[in-house]
Amino acid sequence: MNDFQTINDIVNESIQNSSYYTVAISSCVFILYTLIDKLIGYFKGKAKNKPIIEMSKALNDMGENIVKLNAVLDKIFKDAEVKEVHKCKKTIELGFGNLESIIVKEVQGIIIHNNIEINKGLIHENIKSLCSTEYYKLYATLSDYEINQIPVNRRLKEEWIKELSDEILKIIYNDNDKLVRISQINNRIATMIANYSTYINNKTFNT
């Protein structure tokens, strides 16, 4: 039983810093080494003329141990996958929430403080740069996760940068007063980001 606990501890620690494939290979090597070591120990500890039936029993015991070890590894991997999915979902939620918060805050500041006609060229460039920068921050954040062997960040769409930029500039330069435009920005960006987040969740966890 101590061997099972040792393997359990090793795999749990390895999962924190390695891919599942690396952990699986390492675990198999460890199991094989343990079984070979026990087999060698058995033969060394027994007389050479021991009955074949006892040797067969030893091999049978080792077969049962392999089944138990497989059950241990299967449970560990399933638990780790559940935790990874939960962590990924939370990161997606927080990542898109941060994207919305930063963009809305910056655009509100532009509407309130900038002379938008005089600074029109600069504002256009700043908005495009803002949306691009925050998009790629989210892209980098989601690059830490892989679900169903597909990196989550690859499900993001670069076209969202232009969609956000165009919608923001359209609202900044409409004919409504500042308070109305700020309200429009809050509502429109929230809706767009929510749609993007829903798309990523569906593509990542429901396909």
pLDDT in tens, the chain (207 residues): 454 455 455 545 554 545 555 555 555 656 666 666 666 665 655 545 455 555 556 556 656 666 665 665 565 556 566 678 889 999 999 999 999 999 999 999 999 987 898 999 999 999 999 999 999 999 999 999 999 889 999 999 999 999 999 999 999 999 899 999 999 999 999 999 999 999 999 999 987
Q: What is the pLDDT of residues 64-121, one digit of tens each?
A: 666 665 665 565 556 566 678 889 999 999 999 999 999 999 999 999 987 898 999 9
pLDDT of residue 148: 87
pLDDT of residue 166: 97
Look up residue 201 and give its two tokens: 């969740």
- Determine the residue type at 60: N
- Gap between the Cα atoms of 72 and 64, Å rounded: 13
Per-domain boundaries in the chain:
2-80, 82-205
- Gap between the Cα atoms of 191 and 133, Å rounded: 20
Q: What is the pTM of this model?
A: 0.67
Q: How would you classify residue 38: left for phi > 0, otherwise alpha for psi between -120 and 50, otherwise beta?
A: alpha
Residue 118: CB atoms within 10 A of its CB come to 9
Under DSSP, the state recorded for 153 is G
Residue with tokens 């080494």: 33
- Determine the residue type at 25: I
Burial annotation 27-58 (CB, 10 A radius, 16+ → b, else e): beebbeebbeeeeeebeeeeeeeeeeeeeeeb
Q: Which of 66, 81, 59 is nearest to 28 (CA)?
A: 66
Look up residue 182 and give its two tokens: 């700020």
Q: Which of 88, 198, 94 is nearest to 148 (CA)?
A: 88
pLDDT of residue 52: 55
